[in-house]
Amino acid sequence: VAVTGPPRPLATALTRFFWDGLAERRLLIQRCSACRHWVHYPRPRCPWCQSPDLAPEEVSGRGELYAFTVTVQAFHPFFADRLPYVLALVELAEQEGLRLTTQVVGCDEVDLRIGMPLELVWTDLGDLGPAPFFRPAGVP
Ligand SMILES: [Zn+2]
């Protein structure tokens, strides 16, 4: 199969704000206007209070490493020359349990530790645009 480009996210009415935010280098997460909980992935109703009144807000970009794996096999040919990479769940500082699937960059895999502080770093993926990856916090 010929690789014609990267796999592209399918934006829906529910998720378009997220992808549009990335294009502007803004990490936007849904937040409930009624109970103020953050909600990710995007949902039509708040899982805490059932309110449909959710709106995107920009998060701080601070978080910590919740879980990770080192990916050595590309799930799509476009990523074959980016291997290996660290696929991670990052718990965002805004709320316990608010986790984003992303990549950790700028850190040797042997130095990764669950709970280590991370910070957002925008990483240009060419045709895919900016991606919200994370790196160890406070490292110059
Ligand atoms: Zn709510």
DSSP H or E segment with residue 19: helix 16-23
Q: What distance in Å separates the CA atoms of residue 71 and residue 74, rounded to the nearest whole number? A: 7
Percent of the chain with pLDDT over 90: 81
pLDDT bucket at 37, cuts 50 / 70 / 90: very high
> In angstroms, what is the span from residue 71 Cα to ligand 1's centroid?
35
Looking at the predicted structure, is the pLDDT value of residue 46 above 90? yes
How many angstroms is it from 29 CA to the middle of ligand 1? 14
Please state the rounded mean pLDDT for residues 66-89. 92
Please tell me the pTM assigned to this model: 0.92
Spacing, Cα 46 to ligand 1 middle (Å): 5
Task: Please give the distance, rounded to the nearest whole angstrom, from the Cα atom of residue 72 to the centre of ligand 1.
Answer: 39
CA–CA distance from 113 to each of 57, 61, 67, 124, 133 (Å)?
29, 18, 9, 25, 16
